[in-house]
Amino acid sequence: MSKDEAVSPVVKRKLPRWRPLASPLTRRILTVNLLAPIVLVLGLLYLDHYKQGLIRTELEGLGTQAEMMAAAIGESAVIEEEHGFHEINHDMAQQMVRRLAEPAKLRARLFGSVGELAADSRNRHGATGMVHIEELPAPRIPHWTDRLRLVWEHATRWIPSDESLPLYVDPAHPRADNYAEVMSAMAGRMGWAVRVRKGGALVLSVAVPVQHYKQVVGALLITADGTNVARSLFQVRVAILEAFAFSLAITFGLSLYMAGTIARPIRRLALAAERVRHGHGRAHSIPDMSARKDEIGELSLALKEMTEALWRRMDAIEAFAADVAHEIKNPLTSLRSAVETAAHIDNPDQQRKLMAIILDDVGRLNRLISDISDASRVDAEMSRIETEPVALAALLDALVEVYRATTAAQNVVFTLERPAGDPLVVQGLESRLVQVLRNLIANAISFSPPGGAITLWAGRADNGDVRIAVEDDGPGIPSNKLEAIFERFYSERPQGEKFGTHSGLGLSISKQIIDAHGGTLRAENRPEGGARFSVELP
């Protein structure tokens, strides 16, 4: 298996071209924004404490009515029996109970001193005796709220509100001991109870003692259904639901707006990036949303700059590949010509000359390939550089001492000027900074005349950056080539130097390293003659 076959294939995932009703991010925004009001309204619709308050208020009202009715009965429907005892007059009490209970739409029952039923507001005197009457509700056209209440009651049966209440039972012949609140009234205390019918409706009852001159002669029991309580609760729930519907509409609209300002722009950026990735040419671009002045605008700007940097990197790679092919082609052509010529020549002297040319071309190819490899490694290494403090003062001292020793035969004078006591520390990669300084010094040596001087100056700029300059006494740089000398494979060599000695990548690599460190590298001519290369590092 070849190396290319061993590499796992890259899975190309394309974003779906169809547009769903709501993106996953939109659904999450809606869910988060709607969850709070929904939970809140569910809690409010329960309204257990409010319901208990309504029941308490209703019982207090029933108690007041019961006390008034009991006082009237005690004054008007009680007769004196033998031995000074007082008893309730059943006929008179029946009439009073009926007339007092009907306007209030209540059911009132009066129990005597021995617990018997003395009067019932639903009993009437008929031709054949007492008749029990059940009043039916008045017919009316059902309102939409009635239907809504029925739906609500059917849908909320699971709410555990009244399951713990005792069941209301209406015996055919009731007695006082059938009701605990009546027995409390017989003992002279007001009693009350809350019960529930089989259908779930509440029944509220209050019993008060009937007294005549402080003597308890009976007990009055008043019962009422929980219609008022249920109606009040339902009205509150309807008001809550109306407010909830209004707030839900606003929340839903605001959520869609937020989703539109977040989800849709992100999706546009994702689709644009996908088109750039799978497209051919440069017709596709990232939308510019920097006018938004928010994180999405920053994201669009970052993607746009990243795409442009990617295109620049691809252009640089293509240009570098073309330059490499061109530079390698020249020595290869010369090498091929020399080899073909050597095959047809028998003269030993000419063969030796051709072999010398072949060796020069091979050496030139070797230098080219080494420098090209170094340039490629620099590009990859600088993209993931991990900086550390580098003391340039000590570094310059060591380089000057090395070059003084190695160039003694060339009679080159080295001078170093730097501030004392300042280590000139920068953040960078020491090996690459050394490479830059060695390239600049070697370039200055190659252009310096015999007995020339090379000056290295180091110090700090006004903004605190570290500045290094390498100066020589050579012929200088053509004024129209001050920028071109940093291009790849550009070579401006001194007269008399053997062709092919340099690949023209040294200054290009140096500028690439300094740029990766966030600094600048520029060239200029000295007024007194010679060239100056200046490096500035943060």
pLDDT in tens, 6-59: 444 444 444 444 444 456 767 777 777 777 777 766 666 566 677 788 888 889
Q: Which tens digits make up the pLDDT trace of 127-174?
A: 555 665 666 555 555 655 666 666 666 665 555 554 578 888 888 889
Cα(322)–Cα(384) distance, rounded to whole angstroms?
26
**Closest C-alpha among 501, 502, 480, 498 to residue 490:** 502
- DSSP secondary structure code for residue 76 in this structure: H
Q: Give the rounded percent of residues in the chain with a pLDDT score beyond 90.
A: 11
473 and 529 Cβ atoms separated by less than 8 Å = yes
pLDDT at 208: 95
Residue 466 has φ and ψ, to the nearest 5°, of: -90, 130
| 4: pLDDT strictly greater than 50 | no
What is the per-residue burial (b if ≥16 Cβ within 10 Å, else e) of 53-73?
ebbeebbeebbebbbebbebb
| 443: pLDDT strictly greater than 80 | yes
Largest CA distance in the chain: 170
Q: Which tens digits make up the pLDDT trace of 358-388?
A: 787 777 777 667 766 666 666 666 666 677 8
152-160 long-range CB contacts below 8 Å, 24 or more apart? 152/234, 152/237, 153/200, 156/45, 157/200, 159/46
Q: Is the dihedral of CA 296, 298, 304, 309 positive or negative?
A: negative
pLDDT at 192: 93
Most confident of the following: 9-18, 222-231, 390-399: 390-399
**Rounded mean pLDDT, 72-90:** 81
What is the Cα gyration radius of the chain? 52
**Closest C-alpha among 189, 215, 222 to residue 74:** 215
523 and 485 Cβ atoms separated by less than 8 Å = yes
* pLDDT bucket at 258, cuts 50 / 70 / 90: confident
